[in-house]
Every structure is written in C-alpha cells, then in structure tokens.
Amino acid sequence: MSAEVTPSNHDQAAPRDALTKLAGLLQADMEACSKAIVSRMDSPVALIGQVAAHIVAAGGKRLRPLLTLAAARMCGYAGGQRHVHLAACVEFIHTATLLHDDVVDESRLRRGLDSANAIFDNKTPILVGDFMFARAFQLMVEDGSLHVLRILCTASATIAEGEVLQLVTQHDLTTTEERYLDVVRGKTAALFSAAAQVGAVVAARPLAEEDALASYGQDLGIAFQLVDDALDYAADQAVLGKTVGDDFREGKVTLPVLIAYADGTEEERAFWRRVLEDGTQTDEDLPHAMQLLERHRAIARTVERAAGFVRSAQAALSIFPPSALRDALTDVATYTIQRVH
C-alpha cells in the first residue's frame, strides 16, 4: 500500500516524528498550554476532576492546540498569552467531542486505555463534556475578540452538525462520497481549520493569511480522518489506540467501504448490506470485510485520496515565507499519511 505525497521543499522525506519536532519548536508554549488546560479543568465537583485526570493520563497528540500555537508563532505573534489560551480552548472543544462521541459510539477504548464511559457510565462523560464546552466558551469570551468567537463558535456548531450527519448516514450504503466528505468536513476538519485560523487572527495578519491557514487546517483534517477511517480496518490495535473494526461494528459507512461496495460483485454488495445496513454480523464478518477491502484496494485508494488533501494543505502554506515552523507544519501533513505504513 503506497501513496504519492509531495514532500516539503526543504526535505525529500519528512520525518515520522513530525509532531515531536513541531512540539519541540513550541515547547514553552505547549507547557504553558498544558498548565492552562489543567488549571481550567479544576472544579469543586470531585467527579469532574476524576474524569479530567483520566483524560490527561490517556495523553494524546494534542495536534489541534499545536496548530494554533504554530500558526500564531509562524505569523509573528509575540504579544502575550492569547495563543496559549485559545490553544487550550481548542483542546477543550476537542476533548468534549471525544467524550460525547465515545458514548454515542459505545466505544470501550480511547488512546489505548478504557474510555471514560467504560470506567464511569454514560451520563458522566456527557456531563463532563458539557463542562468542557463551557470552559472553552469561557476562554473564547475572555479573549475578547468577536472574530475569534465567531470562528470557534461556528466550528463548534459545524462539529455537532457533522456528528448528526454521520448518524444519518450510518447503515446507509447509498451514501455518496461527497456526502461522506461532508461528514468529515464537519466532525473533524472544522476544528482543524478553526485551530489554525485563529493563530493568524491573534497575530493580526491579513485575511489572505487567515484563509490560507483555514484551508491548511481543513485539508489536513480531511486527510487525517480519511487515514483514521483506513486504519480502522488496517491498523494494529495497540497502534490505533482503539478497537480495530469499531466503525464496522457500528455500521459506519466510510470511504473504504464505499469504494469496496461500488466495485463489488452483487454477492459482495449483499454482504455489505447484511453487515452494515441490517446489522447482522458474525465473528467471521470483520476478517471477510478486510479481505474485500484488500481485493478492491480500498485502503490504498483511501490513502491516495488523503494524499491529495495533504498536497492541498501543503500548497496553502506557500503564502508564508520559509521558516522552521512552516517546514514543521508541512511535515505534519506528510506524517498524516505515514501513519498508515
């Protein structure tokens, strides 16, 4: 399985530790962001602290707040801590959606550990997720910029719309690729886009640079989700951090499935209708589904589609002058594809 990805100009093979490299360039900012997150998670309600501690212990790449910090610094921001607080805000929005998603999807693992709903119950993560959304909006208001508030509020609403749209398309093999991409743009790419765009806003950069970073974030987010959907059928569980085949068991119609269904024989299509639309599955069905995906190169073709979005994301950065941070953001886009290999 391979996909052609245009590498950054400064290096013909972007390193697999691109996120580590980016975090290293922003070490002080990331430390300040982590402190802000922990501080804002504090609550006199003990159960909130327990769930928060579990989430922090689970770790995570914190890619979205990294995008805010990197964009702000790349744009020349040096005026205070706005970028740190907005990066924390972005992480709160993301974490809130994860808590809610795990309940909706009945997921038992998150980042390789038991999910919050597996440890506590369904009510607790929903309510703690609401608390984190509230904290995020407090941070937006404290920032004082109506433009920032508009960007992040719009992203929050778009995420919710994307999640509902995914629920609508679940079990529906008549879903088109464009409809599937609408789900991805909503539930994943919207926050990537907003996270990057607000970095330009705090640096008071021209609208063209805001738009470029919003485009970078959106295309990066789409590529990221496409690869995640491929990994659900192709990854090792320890690497994936969640149970392999979750999407299959939940009846989610993702791009690998759409490709295999479109190219499949009538017998193969009947199989997909039984397991995804009817929800009648046996222990042998997931391995068979993976065989069908391999037969039609559905994983490789999904990654190829993701590679197109990676190239688009990298091209959006060309408006900015060369810098270590621009190179690192370029490499992060390439890393999105490398996760498959």
Indicate whether 15 belongs to any domain.
no
Query: Does the pLDDT of residue 6 top 50, yes or no?
Result: no
Asked if residue 151 is part of any domain, the answer here is yes
pLDDT in tens, 188-227: 999 999 999 999 999 999 999 999 999 999 999 999 999 9
Give the Cα separation of 56 and 47 in Å (integer): 14
Query: Is the predicted pLDDT of residue 129 greater than 80, yes or no?
Result: yes
Q: What is the pLDDT of residue 221?
A: 98
Range of the domain at 234: 20-321
Which residue has better confidence, 58 or 252? 252
Residue 148 domain-assigned? yes
Residue 56 has pLDDT above 80, yes or no: no
Note whether residue 158 is domain-resident. yes
Question: How much of the chain, in percent, has pLDDT values that exceed 90?
Answer: 70
Question: Which pLDDT score, from 0 to 100, does residue 125 have?
Answer: 82
Q: How confident is the model at residue 7 (pLDDT cuts 50, 70, 90)?
A: very low
Q: What's the chain's average pLDDT?
A: 88
- pLDDT confidence band for 339 (50 / 70 / 90): confident
Output the domain CATH number for residue 175: 1.10.600.10
Tell me the percentage of the chain whose pLDDT exceeds 70: 86
In a domain, 147, yes or no: yes
The answer to the question of residue 328 being in a domain is no
Q: Domain tally for the chain?
A: 1
Task: Identify whether 85 is part of a domain.
Answer: yes
